Structure 1
Amino acid sequence: MIATAAPSATASAATALRAGVRVRVRVRSSDATARAVVEAKLISAGLRPAEAPDPFPQDVLVAVGDTVEAAIEAIRPGLPDGREQLLVVADVLSRHGALQALRAGARAMVLSAEATPERLAATIHSAHRGEGRLSHLALARLLDESPASAGPGRRPGTPTLTGRQLEVLRLMADGHGNEAIAATLRCSKHTVKNVIYELMGQLQVRNRAHAVAHAVRTGLI
């Protein structure tokens, strides 16, 4: 996930904690070191991992591995059966791995390098609410793009967007709604709607998902 989304992620997690929202998290991995790193980040964010082996309703199961495939393998045969939400944290995210995670019921995927305590907490709270969350880097893998294509370099003929439009696009790619985008950019929801309307016209896309996919493919984000 991208750095511009961090303030919103922090605010979201902090708001949930203040509201007394209880989220039980279980971390599983075949790599004890990788598991310990993720658990330490969760504790830092105010989420203490549970040791109980049996899932409770609305638990969030965090599968950790060097690849998505390894993370999924670490939780077999206990794949989510509707009683808990799945979050995958992996060092490497391939298209095959991302599709496997989605088939396994993953609500969200986070690259290890991007998994700050705040971002993990925000993603876990989103998963707990039944919401999906993919960074634009994860989306790039799903579209079978190379990591370089998700960088700032644009392909020839790609429309030039303003700084504000790019910020909104990146936050949209990170799964944020208009209200969260407005809070992050400190502007009104009406302004966000106008920016989205303008950039959809410039990119000639049908909806938000199409806008994000197009932006990733052309290297805008």
Structure 2
Amino acid sequence: MTTPTANHPQEPIRVVIVDDHPVVRSGMHTLLAASPCIEVVGESSNGDEVLTMVENTSPDVVLTDLRLGPGGDGVDVTKAVRGAHPDVAVLIITTFDHDADIVRAVEAGAAGYLLKDALPDEIVAAIRAAAQGETVLSAEQSQRVIDTLRVGGRPPSERELDVLRLVADGRSNDEIAKALFISRATVKTHLGHLFDKLDVDSRTGAVATARRLGLID
């Protein structure tokens, strides 16, 4: 976790909380209100209200859940806020630790990506860091972003992922060929492409890497 090095600002950091679960939103408000360096200036249950709330409250940081239901997700919130108010930092906080989601958040302009099981001090430190223009990603998360972007240059095709899902189910090449109505040689070709794209040398490694990157369940 990046830790800010500057002193506390003279004025509290103004934060808007976006989460579609009222209990979670209330709990986060209580947690942040206990910090003397943070002032919660607004709450929203969906992404549709965020831009209006940002314009009305002038926050330093928007703290948004990743999954927000029909009103868009945290990545949509990030794009909207950063597009209209580039001086406002956006932190995404979620229970989903998928590499693909982290990359989407970073590419949208999020200052960082936190898990909801983070300690209160870590969440406060992340908000302070984001408000000061710092990136809030652990060394591990940064490396995972790099790895995912590397794979993203040549993403597996949908047919290759179909093959990989069946591999994950424990199917043999013959069984995969029969299930997908392709030849056994074609299955081997797809696996070869997957090994190359995921930078692995085994079926087990391909499944593990694809799951870590959020390519398959």
TM-score between both structures, scaled by the size of structure 1: 0.49
Rounded Cα–Cα distance in structure 2 between residues aligned with 1:31 and 1:141? 29
- Find 2:114's aligned residue among 102, 110, 116: 110
| CA shift digits 1:159-183 (9 cap, x unpaired) | xxxxxxxxxxxxxxxxxxxxxxxxx
- Find 2:142's aligned residue among 129, 139, 142: 139
Aligned-partner residue type, residue 39 of structure 2: R
Structure-2 residue corresponding to 1:78: 80
Structure-2 residue corresponding to 1:124: 127
Rounded Cα–Cα distance in structure 2 between residues aligned with 1:130 and 1:77? 17
Name the count of aligned residue pairs.
132
CA distance 1:38–1:54, change in 2 (3 Å):
same
CA distance 1:122–1:76, change in 2 (3 Å):
closer
| CA shift digits 1:111-142 (9 cap, x unpaired) | 1111x222122111111111112124433542
Residue 26 of structure 1: how far off its partner (Å): 0.7
- Find 1:44's aligned residue among 28, 34, 53: 34
Aligned-partner residue type, residue 27 of structure 2: V
Aligned-partner residue type, residue 62 of structure 2: L
Aligned-partner residue type, residue 29 of structure 1: D
Structure-1 residue corresponding to 2:19: 29
| CA shift digits 1:150-203 (9 cap, x unpaired) | xxxxxxxxxxxxxxxxxxxxxxxxxxxxxxxxxxxxxxxxxxxxxxxxxxxxxx
Name which structure has the greater RCO, CA cutoff 8 Å, separation 6+: 1
SS at match of 1:92: coil
TM-score between both structures, scaled by the size of structure 2: 0.50
Residue 84 of structure 1: how far off its partner (Å): 0.6
* Structure 2 counterparts to residues 190-209 of structure 1, below 5 A: none
Structure 1 stretches of 4+ with a deviation exceeding 4 A read: none
Are the aligned partners of 1:79 and 1:104 in contact in 2 as well (CA < 8 Å)? no
Instruction: State the Cα RMSD in Å.
Output: 3.1
Unmatched segments (≥5 aa) in structure 2: 43-51, 149-217
Are the aligned partners of 1:85 and 1:107 in contact in 2 as well (CA < 8 Å)? yes
Are the aligned partners of 1:87 and 1:109 in contact in 2 as well (CA < 8 Å)? yes
Aligned-partner residue type, residue 23 of structure 1: I
Q: Percent identity?
A: 18
Question: Larger Cα Rg: Structure 1 or Structure 2?
Answer: 2
SS at match of 2:27: helix
Residue 59 of structure 1: how far off its partner (Å): 1.6
CA distance 1:135–1:66, change in 2 (3 Å):
farther
